[in-house]
Amino acid sequence: MLNIVRTMTALAILMSLTLAPNPSLAGDTDALTDILKQVDKQVCQSPKKLTDYYTKDMVIISDDKRVLPEHRIKDYEVMIAELQGMKCNNKRTVLSGTIGKNLGFLLVDELISVSSTHSTDERQHSVCTYVFTKDGRQWKIKQEHCSSLPDYSIVPGDDALYYFHNPVY
């Protein structure tokens, strides 16, 4: 009977150690989210610096289209030139993530908001997957895949494009 109790106790301890959240991994994935925060800053300030955060053979998929980095940079530069008093706000919730020695990924829910003095607030709600690889000692984004979602925080009175943003109403 004593052996059964010891065995069950040992199994319970091993199971709790195996199933318990690992705070050391949370800290590691924080390094990946910090990279995304740095990318967010560059989008609204100096888009040409974005290439510093991506690998040379990166793949960017937005909804169902592949996006070339040079086109994305040009779009951001046009946005900066056209919008006076532009403010960018990114809200990101990490849904899942893991990190290994040379490979990491994040699954995130993103809400991006761009506003300016003379235009309405433009918002993009997406679920994105980011795959990171180590380039020397530095993490870089190798693959980015975002799928747009309706922004349910927009109500009909707030935005003339409500029905465009929310196809299911």
128-138 confidence digits (pLDDT tens):
999 999 988 89
Report residue 96's pLDDT band, with 50, 70 and 90 as the boundaries: very high
What is the Cα–Cα distance from 35 to 146, expressed in whole angstroms? 17
pLDDT confidence band for 15 (50 / 70 / 90):
very low
Other residues' Cβ atoms within 10 Å of the Cβ of residue 45: 12
pLDDT at 16 (0 to 100):
41
More confident residue, 26 or 140: 140
For residues 83-111, give the mean pLDDT. 88
Helix (H, G, I), strand (E, B) or coil at 124: strand
List, as one string, the DSSP characters of 47-91: GGGGGGGEEEEEEEEETTEE--HHHHHHHHHHHHHH-TT-EEEEE
Average pLDDT on 46-75 reads: 86
Sequence ranges of the domains in the chain: 22-149+157-162
**What's phi and psi for 60, nearest 5 deg?**
-120, 125
Q: What is the pTM of this model?
A: 0.70
Mean pLDDT, residues 22-51 taken together: 78
Alpha-carbon distance of 55 to 67, in angstroms, equals 14
Q: How confident is the model at residue 143 (pLDDT cuts 50, 70, 90)?
A: very high
Tell me which residue of 57, 60, 54 sits closest to 141, measured CA to CA.
54
Asked if residue 116 lies in contact with residue 86, where contact means CB atoms within 8 angstroms, the answer is yes
Contact 47, 76 (CB under 8 A): yes
In this prediction, residue 10 carries a pLDDT of 44
CATH of domain 22-149+157-162: 3.10.450.50
Percent of the chain's residues with pLDDT above 70: 70
